[in-house]
């Protein structure tokens, strides 16, 4: 999203039914440095708004098909990429008309005939409002990201996992897609912390998250830190056999290259527990916590089998060793 600053000139959508006024205002606003798209009525303006985000709307009140009041109301009910500063132009200067315009969603109004310097002053005020609104939106988004992200590894945190996994579950159930989860546990991680220090342990956790990202799809798969040295990788639309392949790729990459840590390198391995739904997605009786528990049980089998391996189960199918180093 491009930041809006006071020094920039946001694009303006101009709705004016009089062709001469529309032409003159378009020329004036372009000379003032604005990008302007002009339409003849509110319906055309609303159609343009559905195709592109315009930070500023300058609209006449009296127009055929849809007037400025109805247009302002419609714009306020739309889900757009950002706030729209709406300036209403009207020949009606009675207080009740001004109140009606502002209550319809206009931010400001000008009485016709428009005095050009006053119009620019009002638009400059609108740009300041847009800049403040954008800053607030960016700050809220940043806070949202911080609230769902593990500060050390950059993976999602457990809070996000418990919010989002049920949504993935229901989506795969609705559309009949398989879903797989990988429970990952770094082998002998306590020894790394005890012998090499917690800074070295932090390095390992960070680098594991980076390596795991190499073999998951950025547009659908995601990884969350489950706790300590455990991570859960969520693979929507992924069958059990495909999940085993992903787990093995990550496992081999981790084992094949030492991790760079404070004071040197460290050889690290990882064990996986895999749980997958059937090929048509979760059945109605399957719950999210049961799937996580199944992945954890599979991980325990990998630990018993000597670590540095992947064990998996398709829900409803007995545990089976899927792959072993």
Question: Is 168 annotated in the active site?
Answer: no
HEC per residue, the chain: CCCCCCCCCCCEEEECCCHHHHHHHHHHHHHCCCCEEEECCHHHHHHHHHHCCCCEEEEECCCCCCCHHHHHHHHHCCCCCCCCEEEEEECCCCHHHHHHHHHCCCCEEEECCCCHHHHHHHHHHHHHHHHHHHHHHHHHHHHHHHHHECCCCCCECHHHHHHHHHHHHHHHHHHCCCEEEEEEEECCHHHHHHHHCHHHHHHHHHHHHHHHHCCCCCCCCEEEEEECCEEEEEEECCCHHHHHHHHHHHHHHHHHCCEEECCEEECCCEEEEEEECECCECCCCCCHHHHHHHHHHHHHHHHHCCCCEEEEEECCCCCEEEEEC
229, 230, 237, 248: the active-site residue: 229
Gyration radius (Cα) of the chain, Å:
29
Which residues are part of the catalytic machinery? 229
């Amino acid at each position: 999203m491009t930041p809006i600053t006071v020094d920039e000139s946001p694009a303006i959508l101009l709705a004016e039914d009089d062709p001469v006024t529309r032409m003159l205002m378009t020329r004036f606003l372009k000379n003032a440095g604005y990008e302007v798209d002009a339409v003849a009525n509110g319906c055309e303006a609303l159609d343009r708004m559905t195709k592109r985000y315009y930070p500023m709307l300058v609209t006449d009140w009296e127009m055929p098909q849809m007037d400025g009041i109805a247009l302002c109301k419609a714009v306020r009910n739309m889900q757009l990429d950002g706030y729209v500063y709406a300036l209403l132009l009207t020949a009606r200067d009675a207080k009740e008309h001004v109140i009606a315009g502002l209550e319809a969603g206009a931010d400001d109004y000008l009485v016709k005939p428009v005095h050009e310097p006053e119009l620019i002053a009002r638009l400059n005020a609108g740009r300041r409002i847009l800049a403040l609104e954008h800053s607030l939106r960016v700050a809220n988004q940043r806070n949202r990201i911080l609230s769902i992200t593990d500060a050390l590894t950059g993976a999602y945190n457990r809070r996000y996992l418990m919010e989002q996994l049920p949504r993935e579950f229901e989506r795969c159930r609705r559309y009949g897609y398989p879903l797989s989860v990988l429970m990952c546990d770094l082998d002998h991680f306590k020894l790394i912390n005890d012998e090499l220090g917690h800074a070295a342990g932090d390095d390992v956790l960070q680098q594991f998250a980076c390596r795991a990202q190499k073999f998951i799809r950025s547009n659908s798969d995601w990884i969350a830190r489950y706790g300590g040295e455990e991570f859960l990788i969520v693979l929507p639309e992924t069958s059990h056999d495909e999940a085993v392949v992903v787990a093995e790729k990550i496992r081999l990459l981790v084992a094949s290259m030492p991790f760079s840590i404070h004071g040197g390198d460290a050889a690290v391995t990882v064990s996986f527990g895999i749980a997958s739904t059937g090929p048509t997605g979760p059945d109605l009786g399957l719950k999210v916590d049961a799937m996580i528990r199944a992945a954890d049980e599979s991980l325990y089998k990998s630990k018993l089998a000597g670590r540095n391996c992947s064990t998996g189960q398709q829900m409803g199918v007995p545990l089976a060793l899927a792959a072993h180093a």
